[in-house]
Amino acid sequence: MKAVKVPKPFEIRIEDVPEPEVRAETDVKIRITSGGICGSDVGIWNGTNSLAVYPRIIGHEFGGIVTETGKNVKSVKPGDQVTVDPVMSCGHCYACRIGRHNVCSTLEVLGVHRDGGFCEYVCVPEKNVHKFHTKMDEKMLSVAEPFTIGTEINRRGQIGKGDQVLIMGAGPIGIAAMQCAKRNGAEVLMTDLVPSRLDRAKRMGADRTVLIHPQGQQGKDQGQELDAELAAFTGGEGIPVVVDTVCIPSSFEQSVQLASPAGRVVVIGLKNQPSRITMADITKKELTIVGSRLNCGCFDEVIEGLEDGTLHAEEFVTHVFPYYEVEKAFQMIREHPQEVLKAVITF
């Protein structure tokens, strides 16, 4: 079968590899129809993803149609449209025991630590397979995973009805988190450096948007402008929930500064550079600062949202390429990051 492989940084190839077989009684074999390209796939390709092991069949956002099942598989059958949770955990470490398997001490992610889903067939354990109940467009079967990231952010930030949320960054994760927050009944203000990304965020459901000007440009003070907008948004109370999808040291600092007393800050960055945040910043306001990584059992909630129309897959996927043009897709993401929200490859 054909697979998209990254043998080493800056090389991407279509290779013929052996087709996987159903071996365990709980294995599910899936013919992949679609795979979403994520920033972390680009990171594996350009060597900036410190977790990646080479050579690797990439892809952790994927879905398709069940073709075969092991004899103990109960939840799906051949012909079902499904998507796959890429999180693999041990089941017995502390995190796993308390139900937080997405931060398992020996966590492995398909497409990062193990071969992923950018290939014609995969065999994965039944517990990682989630079924769509209404018929989906085949190229949309990979779209659930980024929304699970958004769902996890909402759970970690305890975002619920009536909450006012600031989401910094209108890329795919920011948009997914926004739609999940809207689904939960929250009100969302989004910021970005790019006007067209904010226009799209508005079309996709953001209540308010604020354009951030890069430091020193046009003589504008971005802090003041955002402060004024946030004051208008919250009636001067300060913003109770901040989600930082910009993921640079200064955006983390800004999140902590902007959060209201008793507020929550959700962090998703994986960078190692320190931010300057003092103990007093956290203690005085009694902030809750939480990390959010991957997803912890969020797939079924996302499928429900995609099926009831509260999460919008069609607008989310902006570019579609056949798998043999994967290099072109990566190039498009690299050269036109403002236009691409989510690019998928089809098999």
Q: Which residues bind Zn ion (CB under 5 A)?
A: 38, 89-90, 93, 96, 104
Q: What sign for the dihedral angle of Cα 77, 79, 85, 88? A: positive
Distances in Å between the alpha carbon of 315 and those of 182, 215, 244?
Answer: 16, 31, 22
Retrieve residue 206's tokens: 């953001």
Retrieve residue 340's tokens: 């691409």
What is the 8-class DSSP label of residue 110?
B
> HSE of 125 in the Cβ direction (CA atoms, 13 Å)?
8
CB of 298 to Zn ion, least distance (A): 13
Beta bridge partners of 56: 6
Q: Is 337 exposed, middle or buried (0-12, 13-18, 19+ CB in 10 A)?
A: middle
CB of 344 to Zn ion, least distance (A): 12
- The nearer residue to Zn ion, 20 or 39, going by C-beta atoms, is 39
CB of 108 to Zn ion, least distance (A): 10
CB of 83 to Zn ion, least distance (A): 13
CB of 111 to Zn ion, least distance (A): 9
- The nearer residue to Zn ion, 44 or 230, going by C-beta atoms, is 44
- The nearer residue to Zn ion, 92 or 213, going by C-beta atoms, is 92
- The nearer residue to Zn ion, 116 or 240, going by C-beta atoms, is 116
- The nearer residue to Zn ion, 200 or 293, going by C-beta atoms, is 293
Retrieve residue 247's tokens: 């993921």
CB of 260 to Zn ion, least distance (A): 30
- The nearer residue to Zn ion, 42 or 90, going by C-beta atoms, is 90
In terms of phi and psi (left: phi > 0; alpha: psi -120 to 50; beta: otherwise), the region of 247 is: left
